[in-house]
Amino acid sequence: MDDSCVDGMLVPEGTSVLERLGAALTSAGVLFTHTHHEAVYTSAEAAAIRGVSLHSGAKALILKGKDDFFMAVLPADLSLDSVRIRKAIGSKRLRFANKDEVFAMTGLAPGSIPPFGSLFGLETVCDERLSENDRINFNAGSHRDSFQISYEDFVGYERPRVVGCAKVADTDATA
């Protein structure tokens, strides 16, 4: 891996995603809060340890449409609506990236990926309901580090395509 540029800054080889993201946001003047905590592996665990609502969690999913991989970001209490996202990206095909593909693109394990596809050369598609939060929360390159930023700063920095691509998580179909 060679040195690379993030938001106009030269980032040395071996720099972690946490460091790259923090440097990029700081360089752009985006205020964020960094919390280091015990490891969390589910959105519910993350919300509990952060002391925030599950809805404020920005869940990052890496998907492949017809031709390319992209990142979908949605509130952590919602599920991906495959019909709506296929329509939004104009693809009849859609699948989740597997663990090896996720690692190859990001260097990270699923569940630790921040909602910034731009860090990995991916387009970011964001569910419109994430805007219901003044501030969003997400893992920042590890299961032990979280960032919180304003939704407006997220959209201003990342410039995602905002669409309806989430639905209420399926629970008991008989209820």
Q: What is the pLDDT of residues 94-153, one digit of tens each?
A: 999 999 999 999 999 999 999 999 999 999 999 999 999 999 999 999 999 999 999 999
Q: What percent of the chain has pLDDT over 70?
A: 89
Query: Which residues, listed in sequence order, are joined to residue 147 by a DSSP beta bridge?
Result: 34, 138
Mean pLDDT, residues 13-36: 92
pLDDT-derived band at 15, boundaries 50, 70, 90: confident
**How far is it, in rounded angstroms, from Cα 129 to Cα 65?**
22
Mean pLDDT (the chain, rounded):
90
**How far is it, in rounded angstroms, from Cα 103 to Cα 73?**
18
- The domain in which residue 160 lies consists of 34-168
Residue 110 falls inside a structural domain: yes
Least confident of 10-14, 68-72, 82-86, 91-95: 10-14
Residue 55 falls inside a structural domain: yes
Residue 173 falls inside a structural domain: no
Mean pLDDT, residues 51-63: 97
51's CB contacts (< 8 A; 6+ apart) are: none
Residue 3 falls inside a structural domain: no
What are the tokens at 107?
Answer: 């260097």
Confidence at residue 46, expressed as pLDDT on a 0 to 100 scale: 95
Question: Per the structure, how many domains does the chain have?
Answer: 1
- Burial class from Cβ neighbours inside 10 Å (0-12, 13-18, 19+) for residue 2 reads exposed
Residue 89 falls inside a structural domain: yes
